[in-house]
Chain A
Amino acid sequence: MTDHPLARTIFAWAEAEQVVESTSDQYCPTRDVLRARLDGAVIFLNRLHYPEGISDILNALLSEIGGNSFDHNLARWKDIPGVCFAKEFFEASGIFVLADRGQGIRTTLQRVVPSIRTDEEALHVAFLERISGRAPEHRGNGLKFVRQTIMEDGIDLFFQSGTATYSINHAQETWQSAKRGIPGCFAILSYARP
């Protein structure tokens, strides 16, 4: 997944020290722009006769991951607000890439769990425990929902924040550390018809 050209392009945008230009059809400065592009993607998926459940589930997963970027980085973006969203899909498979230039999972969660020391620890907490980065608000379910849904529905995931990576391939989970870190978050969802 991470070798796909779209993934490399979006990762480079997320990783760059200085903000680099992204194409206008990928950069979503606001939540509404992302929503409109997700709606457009679902229309195309339905035209390609993706199973209705799968297009709806992809829509929900991308909305949760992208929504997290806006929820947790309000007024705290590294430089520019928003996310980059890229997609490519054919009749039998599709790939969807999202990234932000925000603070990342560790910085967000350290506000409520100061004992978190590493990106890897933070990613575990984000996907496995119901703790919100916006306490005292009672929230923090988004990535747990993403994990549970992907484990059930035959979609693959790669997620990175800082140097920590988490992936689900055919319902097998892998937690690793990457050599090249990013300050914000980077996610790839892919689906292939069985």
Chain B
Amino acid sequence: MTIEMLKIGSVLDSRPAGREAFLALRPTLGNNADSPMNKEHLTLDFHGVTLLTPSFADEFITPLTQLYPGRISFANTENITVQKTLAFLSKDWPEGTYAH
């Protein structure tokens, strides 16, 4: 499954926005998203995103890393704030979630 982050917004920068986005996304992931049997892979595609901050990512991406441990990848991470935020927060995520 691929999540096009641009459909959430090009500026992804606050805790309330990140939490709101996660709550909106969560039902689409299905009831078994956090089941050990779930083998689905999740890709977060940052094409078109111009700003990502740790506040947003901590509310949106961190819970996804707990639902999909070791099964998340990131695409189109050229924006410098996307790179820096992912690198910074990855210290708190399951090992190997984001390689930089």
Contacts and interface: CB of A to CB of B under 8 A. Distances in A.
Interface of A: 31, 35, 39, 52-53, 56-57, 59-60, 63-64, 67, 70-71, 130, 138-139, 141-142, 144-145, 148-149
Contacts, number: 64
A101 B62 CA distance: 31
Contact of B84 (A52, A130, A142, A149): A149
24 contacts: A31-B14, A35-B13, A52-B80, A53-B80, A56-B51, A56-B79, A57-B84, A60-B13, A60-B52, A63-B14, A63-B51, A63-B55, A64-B53, A64-B55, A67-B14, A67-B15, A70-B14, A139-B15, A141-B88, A142-B54, A145-B53, A145-B88, A148-B88, A149-B88
| Majority-rule SS of A interface residues | helix
A67 B55 contact: yes
| Majority-rule SS of B interface residues | helix
A145 B55 CA distance: 10
Nearest to A53: B80
Given A56-B50, A63-B14, 13 more contacts: A53-B80, A56-B79, A56-B80, A56-B81, A57-B80, A57-B81, A60-B13, A63-B13, A63-B51, A64-B53, A64-B54, A145-B54, A145-B85
A39 B50 CA distance: 11
Contacts of B15: 67, 71, 139
A111 B33 CA distance: 35
Nearest to A31: B14
B4 interface: no
A145 B98 CA distance: 17
Nearest to B55: A67
A129 B51 CA distance: 25
Interface in B33-56: 50-55
Interface string B3-18: 0000000010111100
B54 A59 contact: no
B97 to A, nearest CB: 16
Contacts of A142: 53-55
A53 B83 CA distance: 11
A51 to B, nearest CB: 10
A38 to B, nearest CB: 8
A6 B52 CA distance: 28
Interface string B52-81: 111100100010000000000000000111
Nearest to B16: A31
Contacts of B21: none
B3 to A, nearest CB: 21
Contacts of A60: 13, 51-53, 81, 84-85
